[in-house]
């Protein structure tokens, strides 16, 4: 599985929107343990102003001192869970996505050491946990709902794992990783059939 992900991400060339001023980046950390691939997630502190208590990937806003989006993702990951950037093997990038707060988020996929022990910054992160990537390929672990705004409708995806609700932007990025990295298509609707995909929306402005 890791070999396939590595090969497919290596040749994937996602579009880049240069026009957004509000930018953020995340790292999707993968860990290989005894031949199985896991995904590392964080639980945001309930005291944070944005997305309190939600499951997310490590990452955050791009600062003025960051030279590029990758530097943002690695810096934020180090600050949040104590992962040294030098320990991350970047496998590639997947499509940008617009967050709820109208940030253009650039997601990177990275392989991290199997013996990594998180040291979460408790001001930002309450918990760190990992989930087998194969978990997200079982449709009985998934449910979705339709959200309607004044101008469009979107599908909001949820995966329930051991009491954790992995949903929203984080769930979308997992589904896109499965698509790009493994060529996996679930047996449920991923995008609303009547409106642009989130990949298309990220390139509109």
Closest CA to 104 of 189, 23, 10, 11: 23
Q: Tokens for 199?
A: 């990949």
Kindly tell me if the per-residue pLDDT of 169 is higher than 70: yes
Closest CA to 26 of 65, 67, 66, 61: 61
pLDDT at 47: 72
- pLDDT of 170 > 90? The answer is yes
The pLDDT-based confidence of 51 (bands split at 50, 70, 90) is low
Pairing mode, strands 142-148 and 153-161: antiparallel
Instruction: Answer for the pair 78, 178: CB distance below 8 angstroms, yes or no.
Output: no
Mean pLDDT, residues 70-90 taken together: 96
Mean pLDDT across 149-162: 89
Q: How large is the average pLDDT for residues 120-144?
A: 94
SS3 of residue 189 by DSSP: coil
- Domains, the chain, in order of start with CATH, read 2-133+140-201 (3.90.79.10)
Query: What is the residue-averaged pLDDT of the chain?
Result: 93
Does residue 149 have a pLDDT over 90?
A: no
Judge whether residue 205 has pLDDT over 90: no
CA dist list (Å): 157 to 12, 98, 170, 191, 197: 24, 15, 9, 10, 13
In this prediction, residues 131-139 reach a mean pLDDT of 97
pLDDT of 5 reads 97
Q: How far apart are CA 84 and CA 86, in angstroms?
A: 5
Token couple for 135: 């978990």
What's this model's pTM, rounded to 2 decimal places? 0.94
Structure tokens at 113: 């050491």
DSSP string, 24-58: EEEEEEEEEETTEEEEEEEEE-TT-SSSTT-EE-S
Q: Residue 180's closest CA among 98, 87, 109?
A: 109
Give the pLDDT confidence score for residue 50 in this predicted structure. Answer: 62
Q: Which residues contact 109 (CB under 8 A, 6 or more apart)?
A: 5, 9, 27, 28, 30, 90, 91, 92, 93, 94, 177, 181
pLDDT band at 184 (very low <50, low <70, confident <90, very high): very high
User: What is the predicted pLDDT for the residue at 44?
Assistant: 85
* Strand intervals (E) in the chain: 23-33, 36-44, 55-56, 59-61, 89-93, 97-98, 104-111, 125-132, 142-148, 153-161, 164-167
| Stretch 85-107: mean pLDDT | 94
Could you identify the residue written with the tokens 């929107």? Answer: 17
All residues at 6 or more sequence positions from 173 whose CB lies less than 8 Å from its CB, including other chains: 26, 28, 57, 94, 97, 107
């Amino acid at each position: 599985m890791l070999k396939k992900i590595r090969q497919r991400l290596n040749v994937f060339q996602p579009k880049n929107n240069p026009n957004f001023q509000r930018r953020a980046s995340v790292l999707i950390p993968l860990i290989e343990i005894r031949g199985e691939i896991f995904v590392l997630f964080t639980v945001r502190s309930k005291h944070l102003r944005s997305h309190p208590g939600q499951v997310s990937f490590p990452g955050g806003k791009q600062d003025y001192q960051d030279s590029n989006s990758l530097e943002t993702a690695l810096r934020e990951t180090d600050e949040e869970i104590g992962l040294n950037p030098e320990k991350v093997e970047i496998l590639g990038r997947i499509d940008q996505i617009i967050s709820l707060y109208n940030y253009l988020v650039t997601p990177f996929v990275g392989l991290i050491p199997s013996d990594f022990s998180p040291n979460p910054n408790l001001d930002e992160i309450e918990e760190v946990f990992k989930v087998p990537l194969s978990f997200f390929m079982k449709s009985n672990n998934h449910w979705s709902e339709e959200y309607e705004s004044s101008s469009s409708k979107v599908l909001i995806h949820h995966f329930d794992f051991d009491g954790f609700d992995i949903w929203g932007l984080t769930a979308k990025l997992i589904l896109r990783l499965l698509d790009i990295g493994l060529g996996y298509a679930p047996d449920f609707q991923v995008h609303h059939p009547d409106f642009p995909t989130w990949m298309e929306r990220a390139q509109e402005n």
